[in-house]
Amino acid sequence: MRRFAFALSLCVLAFLRPPGSAAAADASVQEAEFGQMPNNTPVKVFTLTNAKGMRVKVMTLGATLIEILAPDRHGAMTNVILGASNFDAYRKGFNAAASVIGRVANRIAKARFTLDGVDYKLVANSGSNHIHGGRAGFSSKVWQAKAKPVREHSAAVELTYLSPDGEEGYPGALSVTVTYTLTDENELRIDYEATTDKATPVNLTNHAYFNLAGHGDALNHDLWLAAGHYTLADDQLIPTGEVASVRGTPLDFTMPTRLGARIAKLQPKLKGYDHNFILNHGGRTLALSARLTEPTSGRVMEMRTTEPGMQLYTANHLNHAAVCLETQHYPDAVNHPEFPTTILRPDQRLHSTTMFTFRTQ
């Protein structure tokens, strides 16, 4: 039965390839079962492979990246994100999963907001605050998925989720689509789309934990950010509404700087970086916003995004085993009208793109 299912999968993939595509034998998508949820809902994994041998695996639980195999300067492949060794670890809540975060990534103060004159109370799951969509956010949902037709020089998978009205306290039924595309240029593109039947806040991201060495801590990585300012926050990491320059602070990555070089100068309570940076381009275009370099392996990752902000998090709960570059709108934006808005209305369509390009030096 397993052999029959595998053969059927290959037939489906062959059908998805456009006739005469020169790159059809190179770029590919494979689909397989990965596990089952306690209610017997199956969880699948899609494997995207490009012509250069780079490989990306996406799991339908949480629309989660479970592997990004990228080459070092000698061509050796390593998984450059943290991942669990088996499905059960993810099912039980692996605390470094590269999942899609929503309905609203990051924090909402006091787990409440007012929209169009109506007060909404969300699930409080970080003290009195709301974080990353609540106790049962998008990262805990099994998404529907399908392989996209293999195009010349790229392979992709599309995942969808319908968040019902009232889920975790949010208004409106929200339809979300996330597409992962791997190109032959070693680019991993993430496209987010959403529509709603009622005004609601939306702020989607992927919480990947990157370690370009594949082992050890991430503090020897060099980071450059196209960000001259950041949002000030209180001791609960809730923005105060003020914006400050990074100049003369440990948050200045306007020149390439080792992640661990000034980490000791941060507030001891933080144990590392957990800050929202305001990207210079303001979210107006798909612009180069960050460059992460691991000197030993020679791996370089460049990040481009259409989002106006990025949360830099050095996996402080994991002794800095990785670094997160969470492209986003600003935390608690729904309670700060001076911030770029996160409100999506029924006559609008959200479209956001973040792209990670891997190369070596």
The token pair at 147 is: 């392989």
To 5 degrees, how large is the angle CA 211–CA 143–CA 97?
A: 20
Residues 233, 313: Cα–Cα separation, whole Å: 14
Contacts of 360 (CB under 8 A, 6+ apart): 71, 72, 73, 297, 298, 299, 300
Amino acid letter for position 345: R
Output the furthest CA–CA distance in the chain (Å, rounded): 63
The token pair at 218 is: 């991430």
Reported as type and span, the H/E element at residue 6 is helix 2-16
CB of 105 closer than 8 Å to CB of 115:
no
Tokens 């923005």 appear where?
A: 239
Q: What is the DSSP letter of 122?
A: -
Residues 230, 38: Cα–Cα separation, whole Å: 42
Residues 333, 200: Cα–Cα separation, whole Å: 12
Q: What percent helix, strand, coil does the chain show, rounded to 5?
A: 10, 45, 45
CB of 90 closer than 8 Å to CB of 64:
yes
| Residues assigned a catalytic role | 207, 326
DSSP states of 44-103 as a string?
EEEEEE-TTS-EEEEETBTTEEEEEEEE-TTS-EEE-B---SSHHHHHTT-TT-B-EE-S
Residues 261, 14: Cα–Cα separation, whole Å: 50
